[in-house]
Structure 1
Amino acid sequence: MGLEEKYRDLTSLATDLGITDLQVREQNSVLYIDGTAKSAADKNKLWEVYGRIDPDFRAADAVVNIAVTEGVSREYTVENGDSLSKIAKAYGISWQDIFEANKDIISNPDLIQPGWKLKIPTL
């Protein structure tokens, strides 16, 4: 089985998700998959498929380099009593999307502070 065949589910999903600048190439018995996802959620979907193909991440026969370019539509200032879930529900997105867009500020998604200015991604 060739590498492109082994990772066909991954590359097909990348195409279906509209990964931009998608490049798939094999070099020195390693398959390189590069591109840019519209959201962290799309990138996570790719990692889930990769994990099904190589559950222990030990094959070392693929390099997946997917960047994320989420647009930021708004900025939100955290208030007392807020949680990422509550904020996400108000914007119709997942708390994971907000967490991914604000990893430079948030180290623990369960601990956000009033006054923090969070980026709210568009999907």
Structure 2
Amino acid sequence: MTLQEKYTAVIDIAKKNGVANLKVEQQGAVLHIAGKTSETVKQKMWDAYSKIDPDMRAGDLMLDVEAADFDEVYEIKKGDSLSKIAKQFGTTWQKIHEMNKDTIKNPDVIFPGQKIKIPKG
């Protein structure tokens, strides 16, 4: 079993939750997983790791995940607008747009399936 297979649960959580700048690399006998995400997703990844290696003694995983300045990743659904999403999360569409300028060029044009970061407060 490869290290990526061993830690599939941790990697899947990262991928499904849109961890930014996700890097999964094996260096020698250690798998390095790095990226930037919300505190909630970071904790989910640590929880998955602790189920695989409860005593954290294997020494074969380096989990370097930085908590970001957003609460969560949201997948846009049909009928959504940035204003509607902002209201749902108690923020403004301007803050959402500013945080997601890399994926949302025009705040009036969003698509179902797009994943966006929701800013804190």
TM-score normalised by L of structure 1:
0.57
Runs of 4+ in 1 over 4 A off after TM superposition: none
String of CA shifts for 1:46-104, please: whole Å, max 9, x gaps.
100000010001000000000011249xxxxxxxxxxxxxxxxxx98xxxxxxxxxxxx
| 1:58 corresponding residue in structure 2 | 57
Runs of 5+ unmatched residues, structure 2: 72-88, 91-118
Q: Between Structure 1 and Structure 2, whose CA radius of gyration is higher?
A: 1
TM-score normalised by L of structure 2:
0.58
CA-atom RMSD, angstroms?
2.1
Q: Distance in 2 between matches of 1:9 and 1:68?
A: 19
| 1:26 corresponding residue in structure 2 | 26
Runs of 5+ unmatched residues, structure 1: 73-90, 93-120
- 1:42 counterpart = 2:47: no
Q: How many residues align?
A: 76
Contact residue 31 and residue 62 of structure 1 kept, 8 A: yes
